[in-house]
Structure 1
Amino acid sequence: MVAESPRVAMVAGETSGDLLAGLLLDGLRARWPAVASMGIGGPRMQERGFQAWWPSERLAVHGYSVELVRRLLGILRIRRQLRARLLADKPDVFIGVDAPDFNLGLEADLRAAGIKTVHFVCPSIWAWRADRVEKIRSSADHVLCIFPFEPKLLARQGIAATYVGHPLASVIPRVPDKAAARAQLGLTVHDEVLAILPGSRSAEVAYIAKPFFQAAALIKKARPAIKIVVPAVPALRARIEQIARECGVLDALTIVTGQSHLVLAACDVTLIASGTATLEAALFKRPMVISYHMHPISWRLMRRKQLQPWVGLPNILCREFVVPELLQDAATPDALATAVQDWLDARLQDPARIQRLEQRFTALHDDLQRDTPRLAAHAIQNLLA
């Protein structure tokens, strides 16, 4: 048995991991009000009393090989220091939140030392890198899954797992209030609104923002009245403004700090970088054009390991191309602008198409909505008991 208030070590990388871990901490604190938590995390975790020995952005990387190598030594140094600290003063449980490249190896070492380990968010072995199954089996005592089909898949591999729902499905309202969101952003109900989300990492923005903003220039030329809103991660706002200025569209954009959910609630369509944000857009029931661009070597390596025809989460979960994906060389400004305007035109010319997409995303929302904090905390309690 563990103490009445267990010590929980956690590692969450990037903005999405910080969100997931913050909600998990809500469940742990509801079960153990005096729970102590420490490790690597972001602002949402720290708001809940988490002691961040390193900030989560220290783990942020982009791509598969080239970008990772540039920061590999620093990341490995952090992991060695964290491992030593946790082995010297063992927590009751270690929870790795996403960031599998960092967390799975660390979990394996801690588990070998007798520390209970949990991995929150099953690595996408159903999409690419199926070879990770063995690594998960040796690293995690339990996996908390955010998609309903994952526990059965893991069970077939002898890995204990619990479906806890996707936390975003509880955070995002089932019926978003577009009018209220627009009012907060100074937009009217009659405005045609495009949201552009070029990623939350500096390297993503470096690769993706330019073609996105070049597409925005084409869209603005064709539709002068359109309102284009860009939610920017605070640390990247200056860089985003710089790229927009270089593309000649800075004056045509409204760039806001953070507030991505507010912008998604307000928009008619979004041009969006592949990642968790695409699932957020789906939960807001918004038409979207998914795109991505990375270093060519990283792209070739990723494509070689890809197991499904889809890259965007909405398409993966719906098992078909419900929204377009324009990736790498296909992500030209002309193609992006055309795909966005196709959705905008559909609002007037084919509203049934928009309605079908909204219905599909509402069903997806219902499938993903569970009491994630409580279910996750219950699974961890059972593991500790």
Structure 2
Amino acid sequence: MSKHLPRIAMVAGEASGDLLAGLLLDGMQHYWPGLPSQGIGGPQMARRGFEAWWPSDKLAVHGYSLEVLRRLGEIIQIRRQLRTRLLQDKPDVFIGVDAPDFNLGLERDLRAAGIKTVHFICPSIWAWRAKRVEKIRRAAHHVLCVFPFEPELLARHGIAATYVGHPLANVIPLEPDRLAARKALGLEPEDTVLAILPGSRGAEIKYITPAFLQAAALVRQVYPGLKLVLPAVPAWRATIEGMAHAAGLDGVLQVVTGQSHTVLAACDLTLIASGTATLEAALFKRPMVIAYRMQSLSWQLMQRKQLQPWVGLPNILCGEFVVPELIQGAATPQALAGAVLEWLDARQHAPERIAGLHQRFMALHHSLRRNTSALAADAIRQVLAA
């Protein structure tokens, strides 16, 4: 194996998949320096020498309705062209990183043609879309899992899997430096800081951000000295600033470009959209209010597929509502403000609640902290050797 450089094909969707795929490439290049890899990827993968035939943001869509329909034709065409290319010039292994709607069907066809396939990040069959497990069984020779309970669940369905830890648990320190983060953002050590993270997709900006900002304005009526910080991608900064003006937060809301980890390290608590960012907030050991709003048709379709009472990753992983969730119609500015105020009041009157949450999140952090690059690369090496 060491004398032969395997050829790797990969598909990563969106920025999060690009980051995960970059970590995979780090581990594989440790085994095979100069490893060739091609497919669909982003800048993190390109830094590791990945040859992107299409950029990963081509696969970035959100929801079930109009946005997806507008992009569906292009995405189907890309997948068709990629499948043809890979079947004509077969790689040693194909690795689908996240993007299950795109990757699982592609993996199934490649596996049927004799190409070894690996899927990185088990789709959330334990939370949504349980029927997807059959697709995984037909698609992947091996699944790399980021949560410790997933391999046993997959094994029940005859799917080989390896727990590799969650990459974020290594990126985020066990004890974040709050003072250094505040200094970087121009905040004072004694400030009370609310981080507002409504997401970065267009639909999230549209459906979530106004309610978050209106809620923050209500909270500041009770805590007028509260500092508000919102990390934004550059493309949405002007839109968010317009929404802040409409909410009466001119000169109050600090919008920063990127720096979401710095903002989470600096804050006392966060109002945050459901998604991977909530796991990041948990790893930063921050109290949070999780919320989500989307187009009504998308919500109706998603709700039918929900298998657990929780939506936010911290609650799913802890198996209980350790932080509040306000979803869709429940995510009114008044309700969001009320949930934030409960955490702010707890800082003064029930500090044991904050301390208990910190302990839960520290234990979660330790359980997810593994050498992900090395474990994932070793699993891929064994798939190739089989």
Q: Same fold (TM over 0.5)?
A: yes
Q: In the alignment, what sits opposite 1:196?
A: 196
Q: Secondary structure at the match of 1:224?
A: coil
Larger deviation, residues 104-113 vs 353-362: 104-113
Aligned to 1:251, what secondary structure does the other structure show? coil
Asked if the contact 1:119/1:144 (under 8 Å) is kept, the reply is yes
Deviation at 1:110, TM superposition (A): 1.2
Match for 2:379: what amino acid?
A: A
Cα-to-partner distance string for 1:73-132 (whole Å, 9 max, x where unaligned): 121111112212222222211111111001100111111122111000001111111100
Go from structure 1 to structure 2 and tell me whether the alpha carbon gap of 1:150 and 1:25 turns closer, same or farther (over 3 Å shift). Answer: same
1:139 equivalent in structure 2: 139
Q: Secondary structure of the equivalent of 2:184?
A: helix
The match for 2:335 is 335
Indicate the larger mover: 321-330 or 106-115.
Answer: 106-115
Q: Please give the per-residue CA displacement for 1:266-293, whole angstroms capped at 9, x wherever unaligned.
A: 0000010100000000000000000001
Q: Aligned with 2:208: secondary structure?
A: helix
- Superposed, which structure 2 residues align to 1:119-134 within 5 Å? 119-134=119-134
Name the counterpart of 1:170.
170
Residue aligning to 1:182: 182
Q: Structure 1 residues 329 and 82 mapped into 2: Cα distance closer, same or farther (>3 Å)?
A: same
Worse overlay, 181-190 or 38-47: 38-47
Counterparts of 1:115 and 1:134, CA distance in 2: 19
Question: In the aligned structure 2, how far is the partner of 1:93 from the partner of 1:200?
Answer: 32
For 1:92 and 1:257, locate their aligned partners in 2 and report how far apart those are by CA, in whole Å.
Answer: 40
Structure 1 residues 48, 207: CA separation in 2 closer, same or farther (over 3 Å shift)? same
Q: Secondary structure at the match of 1:118?
A: strand
CA distance in 2, matches of 1:219, 1:225: 10
1:380 aligns to what?
A: 380
Distance 2:86 2:243 in 1: 42
For 2:10 and 2:123, the matched residues in 1 are separated by 17
Matched-pair contact (CA < 8 Å) for 1:61–1:203: no
Cα offset, 1:346, TM superposition: 1.0
Alignment of 1:316-355 (within 5 A): 316-355=316-355
Query: Which deviations, in whole Å up to 9, do the C-alpha atoms of 1:51-79 show, x marking residues without a partner?
Result: 22222222111123443223211211111
Contact 1:229–1:263 under 8 Å retained in 2: yes
CA distance in 2 between partners of 1:290 and 1:119 (Å): 28
Q: Under a length normalisation based on structure 2, what TM-score does the superposition of the two structures give?
A: 0.97
Distance in 2 between the 1:2 and 1:113 partners? 25
Q: Please name the residue that 2:310 is paired with.
A: 310
Unpaired segments of 5 or more residues in structure 2?
none
Contact 2:41 2:54 in 1 (8 A): yes
Relative distance call for 1:63 and 1:91 in structure 2 (3 A) is same
Task: Identify the residue that residue 158 of structure 1 maps to in structure 2.
Answer: 158
Q: Deviations for 1:320-376, whole angstroms, at most 9, x for unmatched residues?
A: 000000000000011111111211121111111000000000000011111000000
- Partner Cα distance (1:70, 1:221) in 2: 42
Cα separation, partners in 2 of 1:21 and 1:332, compared to 1, 3 Å: same
Q: Distance in 2 between matches of 1:94 and 1:132?
A: 19
Amino acid of the structure 1 residue aligned with 2:273: A
Residue 158 of structure 1 aligns to a residue in which SS?
A: coil
Over the aligned positions, Cα root-mean-square deviation in angstroms equals 1.4
Are the aligned partners of 2:2 and 2:32 in contact in 1 as well (CA < 8 Å)?
A: no
The one-letter amino acid of 1:255's match is: V
Q: CA deviation at 1:250?
A: 4.0
Moved more, 53-62 or 348-357: 53-62
Please name the residue that 2:12 is paired with.
12
Q: 1:89 to 1:248 in 2, by over 3 A?
A: farther
Distance between the aligned counterparts of 2:299 and 2:74, measured in 1?
23
Identical aligned pairs, as a percentage? 71
Deviation, structure 1 residue 245: 3.1
In 2, distance between residues paired with 1:304 and 1:76?
25
Contact 1:2/1:92 (<8 A) preserved: no
Partner of residue 52, structure 2: 52
Cα deviation for residue 30 of structure 1 reads: 1.3
**Distance change >3 Å, CA 337–CA 71, structure 1 → 2:** same
Show CA shifts across 1:15-60 (max 9, x none): 2212211111111111112111222222222222222222222211
Distance, in Å, in 2 between the alignment partners of 1:363 and 1:230 is 28
Aligned length: 385
For the pair 1:205 / 2:208, whether they are aligned, the reply is: no
What are the Cα deviations for residues 199-232 of structure 1, in whole angstroms up to 9, with x where unaligned? 1212221111111111122122322211111111
Amino acid at match of 2:222: A
More displaced, 62-71 or 27-36?
62-71
Report the secondary structure of 1:231's partner residue.
strand
* Cα pair 2:151 2:160 within 8 Å, conserved: yes
Amino acid of the residue matched to residue 345 of structure 2? Answer: D
In the alignment, is the contact (CA less than 8 A) between 1:15 and 1:200 conserved in 2? Answer: no
> Per-residue deviation at 1:3?
6.2
Q: Which residue of 1 aligns with 2:110?
A: 110
One-letter code aligned to 1:64: Y
Residue identity in the other structure for 1:48: R
Deviations 1:240-267 (A, max 9, x none): 2333233332422111111111110000
2:39 counterpart of 1:27 = no
Alignment-derived partner of residue 362 in structure 2: 362
